[in-house]
Amino acid sequence: MNPAEVADLLPEIMRRLMGGRPAPTALRALTLPQFGALKTITFRPSCTMGELAKALGVTLGAATGLVDRLIQQGLVERVSDPEDRRLVRVRLTAKGRRTHASAARKARRRMAAALAALSLAQQAQIAAALALLREALVRSES
């Protein structure tokens, strides 16, 4: 399998974990990019728009549009930084925290069900391959 094939598989796997379609699904109408944004904000509370864009690997404009849609759904809010009024921070609302937790639980259940259909040896192969890929990606970031 070549690198392009691997790169093409990963987004498909994530879409399937999130409900099988790239469009909003029953997982509280979240798209994969929206789920990624909620996850990022969960682990980086009150991040700036620039930090969010960088973490998601998108432009500031793309992050702004994504945040606008999440605000419309009541999942995040923008707040001014009290120490530097030029900075805009993004944080989850209570609804955003619940939505992210629910979507993450559903994705974990889908992953567990898929893995349960495989042998223990196959599960070990997947775990080892993903660990190797993660390590290679970490090294390439250095």
- For the entire predicted model, the pTM comes to 0.75
DSSP state of 138: H
128 located within any domain: no
Q: What is the pLDDT of residues 30-65, one digit of tens each?
A: 888 898 999 999 999 889 999 999 999 999 999 999
Helix (H) or strand (E) holding 89, with range, is strand 88-92
CA atoms of 80 and 67, how far apart (whole Å): 15
Domains identified in the chain, total number? 1
- Residue 8, Cβ neighbours under 10 Å: how many? 11
Length of the chain: 142
36 located within any domain: yes
Residue 80 belongs to domain spanning: 3-108
CA atoms of 92 and 98, how far apart (whole Å): 9
Q: What is the pLDDT of residues 75-90, one digit of tens each?
A: 999 999 888 888 889 9
As given in the structure block, the two tokens for residue 108 are: 């974990």
CATH number, domain with residue 19: 1.10.10.10
